């Protein structure tokens, strides 16, 4: 099934807009994982199984795996585990790729063929030819950075740029408009918008119509759930993958870590649904 269809189906079937982020940091694992060579996989698989009923998507962040010798093999195994055991839940690989076309083609193979992700996060900075190898895989999702959640997002993303007609607008709005109008011919695009910028989120929703938005920044980064849902939802009360990673993964460092993660996921799912 196409990524966008899988996501839409999941929003409605499970009544959730929560994306569970998988950012495994061994320094924060419960003691039971200390001597486990497959700790990244085992920890994340337990979290995924415990939180699946509350999730519209899972988002593994590649850096937390690639930082370790056997990490990418464990990531591959984790995505295979999710695809086998939770086939209705799309996997978004957060790798923020972007390079010249020939190299981008290899990154597309990495994300979709080797790792088996349904969608991937991409940096649009290098332009259309850098995105094309991903866009051509139109059964998969291409999720472009638009307005990120970090304080430094302002450094470039809010600078005024001028298009060919001479009209000026902040760069993030130009990115949103270009992707919605020119890159999304197959309906397989989505955007990353930080929860920490709810006013900008409202503007972006106005530009992109029903396009799915991946929203990191609630939980540990302090984004406000009410503002995110109110400003970002579509007319039918969906349109969002609201991500929380550390707030769910490390809800407890004790033996009951998976149950604590499930409680945190349920609580956030419910808090999101209150404002839909």
Please report, as ranges, the residues that interact with ligand LLZGTKA7 according to CB under 6 A: 21, 23, 61, 94, 148-149, 192, 194, 216-217, 219-221, 243-247
Choice between 21 and 239, CB closer to ligand LLZGTKA7: 21
Query: Is residue 164 packed enough to be buried (19+ CB in 10 Å), middle (13-18) or exposed (0-12)?
Result: exposed
- Shortest distance, CB of residue 235 to ligand LLZGTKA7, whole angstroms? 25
Q: Is 202 a catalytic residue?
A: no
- Shortest distance, CB of residue 220 to ligand LLZGTKA7, whole angstroms? 4
CB 116 within 8 A of CB 1: no
Choice between 11 and 197, CB closer to ligand LLZGTKA7: 197
Nearest to 238 by CA among 51, 60, 19, 49: 19
Show Cβ contacts of residue 266 under 8 Å, excluding neighbours closer than 6 positions.
Answer: 54
Nearest to 24 by CA among 70, 86, 85: 70
Show Cβ contacts of residue 214 under 8 Å, excluding neighbours closer than 6 positions.
Answer: 19, 59, 92, 121, 143, 190, 191, 192, 193, 241, 243
Q: Which residue has the tokens 């700790």?
A: 39
Catalytic residue among 59, 96, 182, 202: 96
Choice between 25 and 186, CB closer to ligand LLZGTKA7: 25
- Shortest distance, CB of residue 59 to ligand LLZGTKA7, whole angstroms? 7
DSSP classification of residue 61: B
Nearest to 117 by CA among 179, 58, 41: 58
DSSP classification of residue 107: H
Choice between 4 and 192, CB closer to ligand LLZGTKA7: 192
Q: What is the DSSP string of 194-221?
A: -TT-HHHHHHHHHHHTT--EEE--BGGG
Both tokens of residue 89?
Answer: 């839940």
- Shortest distance, CB of residue 203 to ligand LLZGTKA7, whole angstroms? 16
Choice between 149 and 188, CB closer to ligand LLZGTKA7: 149
Other Cβ atoms less than 10 A from the Cβ of 87: the count is 10
- Shortest distance, CB of residue 61 to ligand LLZGTKA7, whole angstroms? 4
Choice between 18 and 102, CB closer to ligand LLZGTKA7: 18
CB 94 within 8 A of CB 59: yes
Could you give the CA distance from residue 258 to residue 20 in angstroms, rounded to a whole number? 13
- Shortest distance, CB of residue 192 to ligand LLZGTKA7, whole angstroms? 5
Residues assigned a catalytic role: 96
């Amino acid at each position: 099934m196409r990524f966008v269809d899988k996501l839409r189906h999941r929003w409605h079937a499970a009544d959730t807009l929560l994306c569970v982020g998988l950012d495994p940091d061994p320094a924060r694992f419960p003691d039971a994982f200390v001597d486990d060579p497959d700790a990244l996989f085992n920890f994340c698989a337990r979290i995924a199984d415990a939180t699946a009923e509350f999730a519209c998507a899972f988002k593994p962040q590649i850096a937390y795996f690639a930082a370790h010798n056997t990490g990418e093999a464990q990531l591959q195994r984790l995505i295979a585990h999710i695809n086998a055991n939770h086939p209705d839940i799309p996997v978004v690989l957060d790798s923020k790729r972007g390079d010249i076309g020939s190299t981008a083609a290899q990154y597309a193979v990495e994300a979709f063929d080797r790792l088996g992700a349904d969608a991937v996060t991409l940096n649009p900075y290098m332009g259309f030819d850098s995105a094309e190898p991903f866009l051509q895989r139109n059964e998969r999702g291409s999720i472009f950075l638009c307005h990120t959640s970090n304080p430094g997002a302002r450094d470039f993303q809010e600078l005024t740029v001028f298009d060919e007609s001479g009209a000026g607008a902040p760069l993030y709005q130009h990115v949103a408009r270009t992707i919605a109008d020119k890159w999304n011919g197959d309906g397989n695009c989505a955007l990353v918008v930080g929860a920490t910028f709810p006013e900008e989120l409202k503007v972006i929703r106005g530009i992109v119509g029903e396009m799915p938005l991946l929203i990191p920044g609630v939980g540990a980064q302090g984004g406000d759930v009410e503002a995110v849902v109110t400003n970002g939802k579509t007319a039918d009360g969906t349109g969002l993958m609201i991500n929380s990673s550390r707030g769910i993964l490390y809800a407890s460092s004790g033996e009951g870590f998976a149950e604590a993660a499930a409680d945190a996921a349920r609580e956030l799912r419910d808090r999101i649904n209150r404002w839909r």
